[in-house]
Amino acid sequence: MLKRAGFRIRYVNFGRHPDAQPSLDGYDGLVVLGGPMSAYDDQRLPHLAVEMKLIESAMQRNLPVLGICLGGQLIARTLGARVYANHVKEIGWYDVEPSPYADDDPLFDEFEDRETLFQWHGDTFDIPNGAIHLASSRHCLNQAFRYGDNVYAFQFHLEVDEPMILRWLKVPENRHEIARLHGDIDPDRIHSETARHIARLHELSDRVFGEFIEIFGLDMSRRRLIPR
């Protein structure tokens, strides 16, 4: 969607390049994606501190920032909020309810009172001071927040498609994680529920990410994210 909107994108993979030191100079926004580690693993994984410095820099520059799952947790930590193990691991499809504050948020305009969204997380975050709580689920009170007008953190995954979910279910590390839950999570059920819910997820992702891109408010004929 960013490419269709006219942006060029630099993607930094810290798994492949753990010593990368990306800069926001010349860029117009930041998206921080997920990962299997915890947001408080920065002593073991120093690149998490690099990501939080980027988030802080983006906010100081008033750039749009979007964090998904681990990315949302890193935004919360950057803003001084606590990140910790949730009492339940959410892996699969779960009902998410927008908060009353979501009624006035453009990214959540398409949400019904309850939406079934894809999740894969064991940690959660507190809502940072000054942030707006946007969504919750039965097992995870804090599913989304907005800070200011242009910083968003989501615990759920709107960016996935069906092939991606099926790949995740086959990753050895993910399979071991599910096995350690002793039957609480059923991959076959996730597979069947994906076919039932994925179309609606795509509708929501198109609307949410489309509205996020609108935050840039840029003349696409004059400005681009610069490839590095």
Known catalytic residues are 69, 157, 159
User: b/e for 93-131, b at 16 or more Cβ within 10 A?
Assistant: bbebebbeebeebebbeebeeebbbbbbbebbbbbbeeb
**Rounded to an integer, what distance in angstroms lies between the CA atom of residue 172 and that of residue 128?**
34
Angle, helix 187-216 to helix 162-170, in steps of 10 degrees: 130
In the numeric block, the tokens 């809502």 are attached to 127
Query: Which residues have CB under 8 Å from 83's CB, separation 6+?
Result: 38, 39, 40, 73, 76, 77, 123, 124, 125, 126
